[in-house]
Structure 1
């Protein structure tokens, strides 16, 4: 059953990738953008109802915030592509990648709060100035950070491919030390001297995990959601400060619902593809190749989006 689910996920991811490359998802993007415009008008109406003290207005507003975050994530954006490519190209576990997706979305909401209230209280910024900063400068910074992640994945995958080519078929665990050590392969401890001469493979993986996690969350969080900026500016003017901040975080949860689904699909598609490769006897060297392809995809995506400025 698990094999069938993973295989279906791999096939679905491939179909979606082909459709996206051929422009077959443009209709979905157009729908999402139109829905965002409608929700912005409804958010303004909801804020007026909340300001007037109408019963149930706060919960209704937060419901619209969640819906706006959902359709915002469905539309064109780099966050879900970054998470999806990373999940497909590296051996990150599903739980960790979903946590990254949730953390990045919440951090994106927090960055919107920081931008609006930092700009208003410290720099006395205008609504137009805040939106210009978010839409132009922070978007560029986010895309540059995403391109850097793509280059890092490309470089890391290429190094692993080269390392695999240089490994001997029957690796004898020989050392260039001037003393004959026998190492425990589980924790890297030398049996003869009791010392550790380097990190274990699991420790190296954990090192990459926390660095990659911080990089992914930071690259996505740099660019706050336009809808969150719109909401926070209006709530600040109306004196609805905590309601607006809470609404921005609820909006982030709506975004997270999509990016977490993309993360799940990417990881299951990767496992399904690896399962196919294993059955065909072509598993060796496949993960570094996936990482290289993911890096190239991320770099191309970021550079193409930068061209729109």
Structure 2
């Protein structure tokens, strides 16, 4: 019941902000004042915070990746910030190039946005597969060290005993612990940022389109960047929660190297599987029909009728 009421409240708030965006665009067109520009950016910022709370794959994917593979809170914040910035820039480049350079209708921009969304889901699916493979490799039994010790035992018992003791001590001090060192891939991080950032937010697309109709492309771009900041705050909060939850869970794990390795492996396998499943579920409807919903169905369009 609480969740249903929260969803309804957020939906009503987003519709209210749709009207506020249109009102601010009209104020900028009529007055061209800094206050009107600041008002539009403020509306975009709050809209981004609320819009990120609603349905969407970006925050879930980032949180899943953080939970499965990240120990660094700073690195998680960087991923969120760059992916949100790229989302805003993708929307700006897509809409304004189609409107001002190619002189194509908004439906064409939305169609290409739908195709970019499919590419985004494909990239996210690859990230999920990558995490699953890493998890399986981490969970793979270690056989090489046992075989090495066994071969030495066949050569000389006294020598093997002394060497085996030193060798075990050496491993105890230098075996890679999963929570130390470099446990991340720059390629995977870059892929995560691009996969999320290449999918423009539908709210920013409509905001930019109507800003272009008013001849206010620059104002629309500023508001879209502010919207990206709002989205980053919400998504970043969830990423922080994921990293903290991961750290807390690790405190309950046996501190032996093997126990930590198994815990990291299971987290990567489960997190990667969840991300892969999510990408497939989001992509299936688009594979059946890549055409975007008609712009006439959007509340912003209805409000100017």
Whether TM-score is above 0.5 comes out as yes
Conservation of the 8 A alpha-carbon contact between 2:70 and 2:76: no
**Alpha-carbon distance in structure 1 between the residues aligned to 2:119 and 2:32:** 41
Secondary structure of the corresponding residue to residue 285 of structure 1: helix
TM-aligned CA distance change 1:155 to 1:30, over 3 Å: farther
User: Could you give the per-residue CA deviations for residues 101-149 of structure 1, whole angstroms, max 9, x where no partner exists?
Assistant: 0110011000001101222244322112222332x32222211211111
* 8 A contact 2:99–2:212 mirrored in 1: no
Distance (whole Å) between structure 1 residues aligned to residue 111 and residue 11 of structure 2: 19
CA drift at 1:57 = 1.3
Pick closer, same or farther for the CA change 1:251–1:216 going to 2, 3 Å: same
1:299 maps to which residue? 276
Match of 1:193 in 2: none
1:227 corresponds to: 203
Residues 12-161 of structure 1: pairs in structure 2 closer than 5 A: 25=3, 27-53=5-31, 55=33, 56-134=35-113, 136-161=114-139
Q: Distance in 2 between matches of 1:295 and 1:149?
A: 7
Asked if the contact 2:131–2:271 (Cα under 8 Å) also holds between the matched residues in 1, the reply is: yes
Kept after mapping to 1: 8 A contact 2:62/2:80: yes
Q: Which residue of 2 aligns with 1:9?
A: none
Which residue number corresponds to residue 192 of structure 2? 216
Q: Which has the higher helix share?
A: 2
Pair 210,77 (structure 1): closer, same or farther in 2 beyond 3 Å: same
Shift in Å, 1:248: 0.8
Aligned residues: 262
Cα deviation per residue 1:177-231 (whole Å; 9 max; x = unaligned)? xxxxx9x99xx9xxxxxxxxxxxx99x937x432122111101111101121112
Report the aligned-residue RMSD: 3.2
TM-score, scaled to structure 1: 0.75
- Larger mean CA deviation between 227-236 and 289-298 belongs to 227-236
- Select which of 226, 230, 243 maps to 1:250: 226
Change (3 A) 1:247 1:170: farther
SS at match of 1:205: coil
Q: Could you tell me how far apart the structure 2 residues matched to 1:224 and 1:129 are?
A: 14
Aligned-residue offset at 1:245: 1.1
* Structure 2 residue corresponding to 1:238, chosen from 206, 211, 214: 214
Structure 1 residues without counterparts, runs of 5 or longer: 1-22, 175-181, 189-200
Normalised by the length of structure 2, the TM-score is 0.76
User: What CA distance in whole angstroms lies between the structure 1 residues aligned with 2:2 and 2:192?
Assistant: 27
Unmatched tracts of structure 2, length 5 or more: 152-166, 287-305
Alignment of 1:162-201 (within 5 A): 162=140, 164-166=141-143, 168=145
Q: Quick check: 235-244 or 23-32, which moved more?
A: 23-32
Indicate the larger mover: 106-115 or 222-231: 222-231
